[in-house]
Amino acid sequence: MNTKEALLFVLEEQRGMYVSGEELAKRLGVSRTAVWKAVNSLREDGFDIMSAGSRGYRLSAESDLLSSAAVQQALKTRVFDVRVVPETGSTNVDVKALAERGAPEFTVVASELQTKGKGRLGRSFYSPQRTGIYFSVLLRPKLPVTDALFITTSAAVATASAIEEVCGRQAGIKWVNDIYWQDRKVCGILTEASLDLENGSLDYAVLGIGINVSPPEGGFPEELKTIAGCLYPEGGCPAGTRSRLLASLLDKFYELYIHLPEKRFLDEYRRRSILKGLNVNVIQGDRTYPASVVGIDDQCHLLVSRDGQLIALDSGEVSVRPIK
Ligand code: BTN
């Protein structure tokens, strides 16, 4: 941790209270001038830090920037190395680059803004500034390629459960990887894997999650208006929510991930599934056909009935739209 990060860590610990320059210098093992410089640099990044003479510095209780310090403090699991950047193209691309350079498992990159957010099936993911959480986790699972889907499905359960815990929203899962609340998509998940061709296992995987927390300035773009939603549609998201949500999600995901072969997530995945019993259109390339959803099998295939025939859909190239 550099001085700036360490300073933010202490201020975050005492959020809303003053910490004297002298104490900060002592705890950080640096001069008071170095503290002052780090405070200014954090202010330039947008952190709301007040100063009051001899009382020192205080991080405003309302300050709502995503920060590595706030996430680390809220985390119960100590394995994650969370880095927060103000802006990037795509956190999935960043983490992939880190993976190629040998970064350890559980390295996390989160960004306040993505300019080239990636979605499933070659789509883009709208990631406007400071209204969402956009992050990717590097995983190095010892899993056969056939089980890679369980990373995404367990992450969907962790996300829905964290949203419920931190924001009090009963989130549902739309097979295979979308999180819905009040009929709107509030989160998408994209897992990208690198294969080890020699032994047919995963070399590494990048789990990318984007959550819409507050309404974007000016609203969602026209093409997303009828689909996308956010967790606080009227605004008023309490300060610190995004950091706490990210920490809770990572904690919950870790618990499911370390037991992945046992598929502990499966019951909750089924329970939260919003498609069960619905009539849907199955879209497979340029083919579309109506079917009704029966359930989810142990491989996380979606089971649909079409003209009395049971079909297990693989998530690969299929999307499913409820018929309203
Ligand atoms: C989808 O809904 O199609 C999946 C969206 C996944 C978006 C997240 S945001 C963080 C990470 N970085 C990306 O570029 N994409 C994922």
Q: In the chain, list all ranges with CATH 3.30.930.10.
A: 68-271
How far apart are the CA of 143 and the centre of ligand 1, in A?
22
Contact (CB, 8 A) for 202 and 192: no
How far apart are the CA of 24 and the centre of ligand 1, in A?
38
The hierarchical CATH code for the domain 279-320 is: 2.30.30.100
User: pLDDT class for 159, splitting at 50, 70, 90?
Assistant: very high
Give the model's pLDDT for residue 285.
Answer: 83
**pLDDT reading at 42 higher than 70:** yes
Q: What is the mean pLDDT of residues 134-156?
A: 93
In this structure, the residues whose C-beta lies within 6 A of any atom of ligand 1 are 90-92, 114, 117-120, 123, 125, 127, 134-136, 178, 188-190, 208-210
Q: What is the mean pLDDT of residues 55-61?
A: 91
Give the model's pLDDT for residue 7.
Answer: 94
Distance of alpha carbon 268 from alpha carbon 143, whole angstroms:
22
Pocket probe for ligand 1: among 88, 96, 127, the residue whose CB has the most ligand atoms within 8 Å is: 127
Single-letter code of the amino acid located at 103: A
Sort strands 201-212 and 132-139 into parallel, antiparallel or unpaired: antiparallel
Q: What is the mean pLDDT of residues 46-64?
A: 89
How far apart are the CA of 50 and the centre of ligand 1, in A?
35
Please state which of the four CATH numbers 1.10.3720.10, 1.10.10.60, 2.40.50.140, 1.10.10.10 is assigned to the domain occupying 3-59: 1.10.10.10
Q: Which atom of ligand 1 is nearest to the CA of 135?
A: 10
Q: What is the mean pLDDT of residues 11-18?
A: 90
Q: What is the mean pLDDT of residues 307-315?
A: 91
Q: What is the mean pLDDT of residues 1-11?
A: 90
Residue 172's DSSP bridge partners are 180
User: pLDDT class for 316, splitting at 50, 70, 90?
Assistant: low
Q: What is the mean pLDDT of residues 35-53?
A: 91
Pocket probe for ligand 1: among 82, 87, 95, 114, the residue whose CB has the most ligand atoms within 8 Å is: 114
**pLDDT reading at 317 higher than 70:** no
**pLDDT reading at 261 higher than 80:** yes
pLDDT tens string 270-284 = 999 999 999 999 998
**Percent residues over pLDDT 70 in the chain:** 99
Q: What is the mean pLDDT of residues 219-248?
A: 95
Q: Which atom of ligand 1 is nearest to the CA of 118?
A: 14
How far apart are the CA of 127 and the centre of ligand 1, in A?
9
Q: What is the mean pLDDT of residues 243-257?
A: 97
**pLDDT reading at 101 higher than 90:** yes
pLDDT tens string 191-222 = 999 987 777 788 999 999 999 999 999 999 99
Give the model's pLDDT for residue 319.
Answer: 76
109: which residues sit within 8 A by CB, 6+ positions away?
83, 84, 85, 88, 91, 94, 95, 98, 135, 136
Angle in degrees, CA 178, 137, 233, rounded to 5? 40
**pLDDT reading at 257 higher than 90:** yes
**pLDDT reading at 61 higher than 90:** no
Q: What is the mean pLDDT of residues 33-52?
A: 91
The hierarchical CATH code for the domain 68-271 is: 3.30.930.10
Task: Please state, in angstroms and as integers, the Cα–Cα distance from residue 269 to each residue in 198, 274, 310, following that order.
Answer: 32, 10, 20
Q: In the chain, list all ranges with CATH 1.10.10.10.
A: 3-59
234: which residues sit within 8 A by CB, 6+ positions away?
none
pLDDT tens string 64-76 = 889 999 999 999 9
How far apart are the CA of 210 and the centre of ligand 1, in A?
5
Give pTM, 2 decimals. 0.92
Pocket probe for ligand 1: among 83, 87, 107, 118, the residue whose CB has the most ligand atoms within 8 Å is: 118
Q: In the chain, list all ranges with CATH 2.30.30.100.
A: 279-320
Nearest CA to ligand 1 atom 9: 210
Q: What is the mean pLDDT of residues 248-260?
A: 97
**pLDDT reading at 292 higher than 70:** yes
Q: What is the mean pLDDT of the chain?
A: 93
Give the model's pLDDT for residue 146.
Answer: 82
pLDDT tens string 104-142 = 999 999 999 999 999 988 899 999 998 999 999 999 998
How far apart are the CA of 134 and the centre of ligand 1, in A?
7
How far apart are the CA of 263 and the centre of ligand 1, in A?
23
